[in-house]
A and B are shown apart, each in its own frame.
Chain A
Amino acid sequence: MAQASSEAVLVTLPADVDLHARPAADFVRTAMGFSADVQVAAGERQVDAKSLLSVLALGAKGGTELRLTAAGEDAAAALDALSARVLSLTD
């Protein structure tokens, strides 16, 4: 069995996109595509990146730096995909 890996990246939300409604759903949907445990933090708060309501409650505004961490076999792939998704979010 492959060794579970743990990874972290920083990525900044596009200036004109808040992590709410449809952008939050797009973000969560991407996270759900991986088996890794994925967390997203904005400021002091960190939540499960696969929980829509938790991600909505983060209230991250456009331009906020998000810290993504993942643990599990496909952690690196999850972070690659999620970082790319964040950068391509539109309102």
Chain B
Amino acid sequence: MVGIVVVSHSSELAEGLAALAAQMAGPEVRIEPAGGLPNGELGTDEDRVRAAIRAADQGAGVVVLGDLGSAILTVRHVLERHNGNGSVRLVDAPIVEGAVAAAVTASANMSLDDVARSAEEARGAGKL
């Protein structure tokens, strides 16, 4: 099953979003938060992102979402060094809608391509 990593400047935001996505996707999907700096401040940390990717990976690939600017740069930096044959995919998506859509798609045992696409489709999905 594809895993999901949510990277935010805020640990509370990352953890809350992981909980929300897990509530909709059920217990089988690994949804890992990577938020904040080790000293508790706002920011993104490469070691936390790396650990979250490892924890989310069950062998079917991992989709990573970031909140803003430097979160994306942090993920890119991590993936430049290690991206197990392209099986870790950073997607361009609004983080809340994208993570929830990706988690539910993953829970239906869909492929990495399908999960990544469902997250990116969130860019064009209206709420009203």
A-side residues, CB < 8 A to B, are 21-22, 24-25, 28-29, 32-33, 51-54, 56-57
Contact = CB atoms under 8 A, between A and B. Distances in A.
Contacts of A32: 105, 108, 110
Interface of B: 23-26, 97, 100-101, 104-105, 107-108, 110, 118, 121-122, 125-128
6 contacts: A25-B24, A25-B26, A29-B108, A32-B108, A52-B118, A53-B125
A29 B125 contact: no
Contacts of A24: 24
Contacts of A57: 125-128
B104 A29 contact: yes
A25 B121 contact: no
A28 B118 CA distance: 12
Contacts of B128: 57
Contact of B23 (A22, A28, A29): A22
A28 B108 contact: yes
Contact of A29 (B107, B121, B126, B127): B107
